[in-house]
Amino acid sequence: MAEVSLNNIIKRYGEVIAVRGINLNVADKEFVVLVGPSGCGKTTTLRMIAGLEEISEGEISIGGEVVNDVPPKDRDIAMVFQNYALYPHMTVAANMSFGLKLRRFPKAEIKARVERAAQILDITDLLERRPKQLSGGQRQRVAMGRAIVRNPKVFLFDEPLSNLDAKLRVQMRTEIKRVHQKVKTTTIYVTHDQIEAMTLADRVVVMNDGRIEQVGTPHELYHSPRTRFVAGFIGSPAMNFLPCKVERNGAGLVLNLAENLSFPMPADLSARYGKAVGKPMIFGLRPEHITEPRGGAPGEKSEFTANLDVVEPMGMETMVFFRIEGTEVCGRVEPTSAGGPGQPMRLRANLNHMHLIDPATNLAL
């Protein structure tokens, strides 16, 4: 078993606290992604798991064994970096087998492990080439192969796709997921790209300012964010946020967004958001829930007209930007439904997917 447990991990650099009391349990064979903006502490956390950074406080265990004082080479982990770190004078096969030779593995076993990893990564025909003869994606596969042949307890990935172009990143993302399905090894992956996090992870750990904001499946983070930071960080384009007030109207609730813009709240949300009545709140709604009116029963109560500022055709959809009380709002509409900048457009807000956030705590209700 190769569970990884972090108990109250703190990392200080002098008076600067980079990681602030992290607690996290990664199950055996689980794929967990640490995601967040630059400087949030995700790479520092990964390097402490690897043993490349000392822990200021707390305890890290791998496979049930506390490894605080265990050197990196004895932790039975394999790390894949943003920089491929391949030996330029060695062939692909030699790069992949180098670590095993240092550990004096039998030649037959080295050969078998290299061939198996090459088959998994589809680089068998590259084994006799040198790194300079490879593309960026091929070099990253070799770096992954070097980790796979180790057969470690844990794989650690530190932004491995950052150096690749957009198309290759998508291909390698799929490749990494495919490899994990074949080689069921506990994996911790660091990235600043929330799309990478959502597509790869069994669970995503969203970090901010050295703390964990929320841990959950991609579906949980996207549809049930606990904080304003998570709601705004997960999803592209980001969730729209608008100041609002909630008021009672008979048995129901009304959401006031502007002097001339208010919507009745769906009845099944009244109990959840009843405690927000009379308080200034932040209304959150994702762009895909602001669309042109579509089929079914008329939605007059949640429809409104906006003058478009910017129109961005994306092929299968069009992004429209407009302002409500000076705040920019983004919607996603059918390609043929949007006019040009400066033109009015009838839109519909699907409040069944709304979020309310308390501005005093930045917590979602």
**So where are the chain's domains?**
4-233, 240-364
pTM: 0.89
Query: Could you give the CA distance from residue 197 to residue 190 in angstroms, rounded to a whole number?
Result: 8
CATH architecture label of 4-233? 3-Layer(aba) Sandwich (3.40)
End-to-end CA distance of the chain: 38
Topology classification of domain 240-364 = OB fold (Dihydrolipoamide Acetyltransferase, E2P) (2.40.50)
Look at residue 49 and give its three-state secondary structure.
helix
Taking only the tens of pLDDT, the chain with its 365 residues reads: 689 999 999 999 999 999 999 999 999 999 999 999 999 999 999 999 999 999 999 999 999 999 999 999 889 998 888 777 888 999 999 999 988 888 888 999 999 999 988 888 888 998 999 999 988 888 888 988 888 888 889 999 998 888 778 888 888 888 888 888 888 899 999 999 888 999 999 999 999 999 999 999 999 999 999 999 999 999 888 999 999 999 988 778 899 998 888 899 888 888 888 888 888 999 999 999 999 987 655 545 688 999 999 999 998 999 999 999 999 999 999 988 888 898 999 999 999 999 999 999 999 99
From the list 83, 209, 193, 100, the residue with the least C-alpha distance to 148 is 100
Q: Can you state the percent helix, strand and coil of the chain, rounding each to 5?
A: 30, 35, 35
Cα 258-261-267 angle, rounded to 5 deg: 115
